[in-house]
Structure 1
Amino acid sequence: MENGNQTSDADVGIWYSSLAYDQWVTLPVAGRRPPGRYKHAAAVVGQRLYISGGSRNGRHLADVQVLDFTSSTWSSLRLSAIPDAVQSESDRLVQGFPATSGHHMIVWEQKLLCLDGHSKYSSFVTVRFLDLETLECGVMDTVGDLPVARTGESVTLVGSKLIMFGGEDARRKLLNDIHILDLDTMTWSKVEATQNSPSPRYDHATAVHAERYLLVFGGCSHSTCFNDLYVLDLNTMEWSQPETRGDYVSPRAGHAGITVNGNWYIVGGGDNKSGSLDTLVLDMNKLVWSVVATVNLRDPLASEGISICLANIHEEQFLVAFGGYNGNYNNEVLVMRPKLKDSARPKIYMSPAAAAAAASVTAAYSYKSEKPPELPKPESVYPKQDGSPVLANMKDAKRLLELSLIEVREENSMLKGKIDEINSNHEELSKELTSVQGQLISERSRCFKLEAQIAELERLLESRPSIEAELQSLRKEKSTFEQILEHDPAVQRQGSRGVWQWLSGGEGSP
């Protein structure tokens, strides 16, 4: 157990009644479980959890599995394809849902919509449907500016529109484009957003706030993982990167997220080295990160390609996580009862352009306010009770000022936290600088020693020509002596006698 938040088992049938808040437990199921997998798609409809596709042992799956919360049993869904719905040449041979992973499943009316992922059937994003009443499935015709097929993208439902962001295409090109599918007309449109857009990425998570803001968190490129947060204003189509506070958030990709009453829960993911052990929650009204649970390294929750859904079971809300890969292909179902918090008014995220405009308006108002204001007449301050809208306007102005005051206080609190963080970083950097200076002094001493050794080697190299000349002279003398020995018999006899005398110890002659 770690921080008291390690997952545990729950009792069949009564698990929902004794579950503590913000604690993950493994949901026991009866019967046969589906194969473990990751990068699948998941959705909850009523009292059932639907799982589609995914990857296992290098291959994509094509099944649809269903977990009934009332009986805690799994079953496989048998589908029948609609011939008229499979018209394109690329989808003509597809029966049911094709084998795919890295796709998304969205609940729309009485259907489950599956969008894209690893698929060989089309070069553009394909929208497939599963009718939960008839158990028929097929391909939905879409028109407009169709986005290129991809995997690892995010798909978010906002009203009657699906917003697709980023991903990786079939050529492994990373994307950061935005496409919107109008579900009423099944028309695709590409949107050009302004300001500082996120870098191209895939396997990130997105959420919608106040039906106006699209939040993008984390993901990865081909070389690194991210822990940044971006916000897209769907009214102005402007990107911004707001400051966040709270607990440290490590970079991750392959995580999953779900929103509950203005709180965005993030579970799973990893950085290609290890899985993320913490379950995060972002208060989207205050932009404050918190760690609500922590698990061990080999826990199924510390997995990439995991899914998370929100289920209403016995009139209570539960987070439901399934699958993922952390060295093993997991097929456990884990549930958590989130501790509900009072939802504050939705926060207005300002893009850099909007913030600059607001700053200029504030500056102009301050400049104008430097002049002494003219005192209004009493009758204008205290209007008669004749239904005049002046009092109502003043109340509205007061309310706006109070809201602005709250925003300023929150901003001051955020700035104070940032200053504290900067001061802490400054202290750490000062310590690091002192350490580096000590290392530099040591390296300088080492350099001086190396320079002395180099000077000695250079001196030896300079004397090399005289040594070579002396060696050459000795070789010539040796060669001359060998020639004399070869051509002068007297010297040979003298040499032989000298050898014999040496052998005989110098006593007499032969």
Structure 2
Amino acid sequence: MEVNNWYKELAYDQWAPIPVSGMRPPARYKHAATVVDEKLYIVGGSRNGRHLSDVQVFDLRSFIWSSLKLKANAGSNDSSASQKTFPATSGHNMIRWGEKLLLIGGDSKGSSDKLVVRYIDIETLQFGVIETSGSIPVACTGQSATLVGSKVLLFGGEDMKRKLLNDVHVLDLECMTWDMIKTVQEPPAPRFDHAAAMLGDRYLLIFGGCSHSVFFNDLHLLDMQTMEWSQPQIQGDTVSPRAGHAGITIDESWFIVGGGDNSSGCPETLLLNMSKLVWSVVTVVKQKDPLSSEGLSVCSTLIGGEKYLLAFGGYNGKYSNEVFVMRPKPRDSLRPKIFQSPAAAAAAASVTSAYALSKSEKLDFRQLEDTNSKPPINGHPMDDISVKVETIKEEKRLLELSITEVRAENTKLGGEIDELNNVHAELSKELQSVQGQLVAERSRCFNLEAKIEELQKLMESMQSVEEQVQALRKEKSAIDQEMEHATTGQRQGSGGVWRWLGGGGE
């Protein structure tokens, strides 16, 4: 079977393990992962308290694991040039930049006070440290690093002294310069092991994570134009607090996988519609499934023109080294409702204001006509009326847009209802068929019971016959013994006569 066909035969919105040929890499968690040219790259991680330094590659076409043998860049001036192996690292981030994999932060032996950016060149198989400048963040682990164009947004984490962070830094990949962003309004509480995503090029979303005593399920939003934090109202399914989860975006859908609270893992795969801020549960796995783990990774990849999710590793009482794949169901992308222009975003408020205005001033079109027929005083009444008319027209236009959206949503729901009705009809037919089979099986069981009863009666009669046969055999045996005795006595008598006669003859 072709690889593309194997992927396309997967059920929508369901995780499935990928069959692996040959050896698997060591199980781990808190590693970093990304996909390049249909190959899944896994770097570092932790297992049994020990950090790992290997680089593993899983070919998504051959289903075979291999290990990269890296060498230090001999022309580099950094201290890593003297190292023969890539530093063992855990709790870091990895971002693809050209033909290089950039590894940001994390905990490794001999970490400096400042955050280190390392690289792996997947063409030359060389590694090294990238020299950065500017307002370099402190060394940390469990932070989030989100790529936006040619910039990386770094948020939160825990420094080497276990101090929790909630500041925002930006790394310009063009010049490798760090800047610290000054934000306004209330930021998220300091945290680590959270998830982050970007909506477009403007909004940074932060979800979940934990402090040293609290696990979070809150969602925060940072407007990158105004640098203003907010905590928007969320709709949809209730999500449980978690840390160590992984997230990946496909269009305006943000998929959240795994995580936990140190006592149990989170078995549900969540989806946040980022334009509407609505949570929904995509699928649920078993409680002890590798996908219900902390410290796992999730990536997306394009295979045969279709996007898939890939998950690897994690820990939930047991370390995992399995690769899972999910084929997301295509989802409609309606026009955003909360991240629109200021006029559209304030449509509801405008409608409310218009209603209050009409109630207080008793403004209707007949009054407008009467007023228009009167000469204006200093031009103000006419000007005010014109403004009010334009306001009402704008509100009408916005209401029509909202009605169009509602109709589109109703059409979509109607299609889903029709699909559910068709499924219900098919299930009803299948149920009737199964009920018919049950009736036939019951009739067959009744017939078998009747035959069994007849056989039992026959066996009882055969037992009686057997007893009669045994009695006849005993009678026959007794008769045979009597006949044998009689025959033996006759032979003995005859023999004695012949012996006597013979003796006399001598």
Instruction: Give yes or no for TM over 0.5.
Output: yes
- What is the rounded CA distance, in whole Å, between the counterparts of 1:55 and 1:140 in structure 2? 23
Provide Cα deviations, 1:460-508, integer angstroms capped at 9, x if missing partner: xxxxxxxxxxxxxxxxxxxxxxxxxxxxxxxxxxxxxxxxxxxxxxxxx
Alpha-carbon distance change, 217 to 407 in structure 1, aligned in 2, over 3 angstroms? farther
Counterpart of 1:58 (choices 34, 49, 54) is 49
Partner in structure 1 of residue 103 of structure 2: 114
1:403/1:163 CA distance change after superposition, 3 Å: farther
Rounded to whole Å, the distance in 2 between the matches of 1:195 and 1:248 is: 25
CA shift for structure 1 position 17: 2.8
Q: Are the counterparts in 2 of residues 242 and 349 from structure 1 also a CA contact under 8 Å?
A: no
Q: Which residue of 2 aligns with 1:269?
A: 259
Change (3 A) 1:191 1:396: same
263-272 or 103-112, which deviates more:
103-112
Residues 77 and 346 (structure 1 numbering): CA distance in 2 closer, same or farther, change over 3 Å?
farther
User: Which amino acid in structure 2 is aligned with residue 346 of structure 1?
Assistant: P
Post-superposition shift, 1:261?
A: 2.1
Q: What does residue 212 of structure 1 align with?
A: 202
CA drift of 1:102 comes to 0.4
Give the secondary-structure state (helix, strand or coil) at the position aligned to 2:280. strand
Distance between the aligned counterparts of 1:85 and 1:25, measured in 2?
Answer: 43
Matched with 1:260 is 250
Change (3 A) 1:291 1:363: closer
Q: Which of 8, 14, 31 is matched with 1:23 structurally?
A: 14
Amino acid at match of 1:35: P
Q: 1:263 offset after TM fit, Å? A: 0.8
Shift of 1:156: 0.3
* Cα separation, 1, equivalents of 2:353 and 2:5: 63
The reply on whether 1:296 has 2:286 as its aligned counterpart is yes
Distance 2:182 2:347 in 1: 24
Higher relative contact order by CA 8 Å / sep ≥ 6: 1 or 2? 1
Matched ranges for 1:25-44 at <5 A:
25-44=16-35
Per-residue deviation, 1:203: 0.2
Deviations along 1:309-358, one digit per CA (max 9) or x if unpaired, are 001112211100000001111000000000011112234459xx999999
What secondary structure, in the 3-state scheme, does the structure 2 residue paired with 1:329 have? coil
Please, which moves more after superposition, 400-409 or 128-137?
400-409
- What pairs up with 1:339-358 in 2 under 5 angstroms? 339-349=329-339
1:170 matched residue in structure 2: 160
Cα separation, 1, equivalents of 2:194 and 2:201: 20
SS of the residue corresponding to residue 91 of structure 2 reads coil
**Deviation of 1:158 (Å):** 1.0
**2:323 match:** 333
**RMSD across aligned positions (CA):** 3.3
1:234 aligned residue (224, 227, 249): 224
Alpha-carbon distance, 1:99 to partner: 0.4
CA contact under 8 A between 1:12 and 1:27: conserved in structure 2?
no
Query: 1:199 and 1:358 mapped to 2: Cα distance?
Result: 32
The reply on whether 1:81 has 2:62 as its aligned counterpart is no
In 1, the alpha carbon distance for the partners of 2:126 and 2:53 equals: 15
Kindly indicate whether residue 237 of structure 2 is the aligned counterpart of residue 244 of structure 1. Answer: no
List per-residue Cα deviations over 1:114-166 (Å, max 9, x = no partner).
Answer: 10101223211111112222222211111100000000000001111100000
Deviations 1:284-312 (A, max 9, x none): 12211111111111110011000000011
Give the corresponding residue for 2:435: none
Distance in 2 (CA, whole Å) between partners of 1:14 and 1:363 is: 54
Contact 1:86 1:92 (8 Å CA) reproduced: yes
Aligned pairs for 1:278-297 (under 5 A) are 278-297=268-287
| 1:131 maps to which of 121, 136, 143 | 121
- Counterpart CA distance in 1 for 2:8 and 2:406 is 42
Q: Aligned residue for 1:434?
A: none
Distance, in Å, in 2 between the alignment partners of 1:113 and 1:396 is 49
* Pair 1:199-2:150 in alignment: no
Please state whether the residue corresponding to 1:253 is helix, strand or coil.
Answer: coil
Q: 1:138 to 1:168 in 2, by over 3 A?
A: same
Give, in angstroms, the shift of residue 95 of structure 1.
4.0
Give the fraction of aligned pairs with identical amino acids, expressed as a percent. 58
Letter in 2 for 1:114: L
What TM-score, normalized by structure 2, do the two folds share? 0.69
Structure 1, unpaired ranges of 5+: 1-9, 378-392, 411-510
Question: Rg bigger for which structure?
Answer: 2
SS of alignment partner, residue 112 of structure 1: strand
**Secondary structure of the structure 1 residue equivalent to 2:75:** helix
Residues 255, 269 of structure 2: 8 Å contact kept: yes
* Higher-helix-fraction structure: 2
TM-score by length of 1: 0.69
Aligned residue for 2:295? 305
Flag structure 2 segments of 5+ consecutive residues without an equivalent.
Answer: 373-390, 409-506
Give the structure 2 partner of residue 143 of structure 1.
133
- Where has structure 1 moved over 4 Å in runs of 4 or more? 10-14, 353-377, 393-410
Query: How much does 1:192 deviate?
Result: 1.4
